[in-house]
Amino acid sequence: MAIEQENYVDQSTSMAIQDAVDNIRNVTEVSNTASGVALSKMLAGGDKPTCLLTIEEANRLIANAISNYEKIMEISIKGRKNNYKASIQKKKFFFF
């Protein structure tokens, strides 16, 4: 039973990491599109402050997605280490 639980924890953390990677990809795609449109409008004589603000916000969204990924990785690593330590303790207990 302990090994099955370890597998569930590892699977859940892996899925959380993959979701964070997907989020980075999706946010980056949308943000790059928004930046491209804003740059195009600015070069065509559009409202420069608004266009620059749009590009800045798009970059901020990407930075936030990366920050979230880093937090999820940190939490996942801690969770896996704790899961491993707990499973080692259980195995020692059952060998006595």
Per-residue pLDDT for 1 more than 60?
no
Percent of the chain with pLDDT over 90: 62
When computed from its CA atoms, the radius of gyration of the chain, rounded to whole angstroms, is 22
The predicted model scores a pTM of 0.77
pLDDT value at residue 94: 52
Whether the pLDDT of residue 91 is over 50: the answer is yes
User: Using an 8 Å Cβ cutoff, are 42 and 48 in contact?
Assistant: yes
DSSP per position, 75-88: HHHHHHHHHHHHHH
Q: Kind and range of the H or E element at 4?
A: helix 2-43
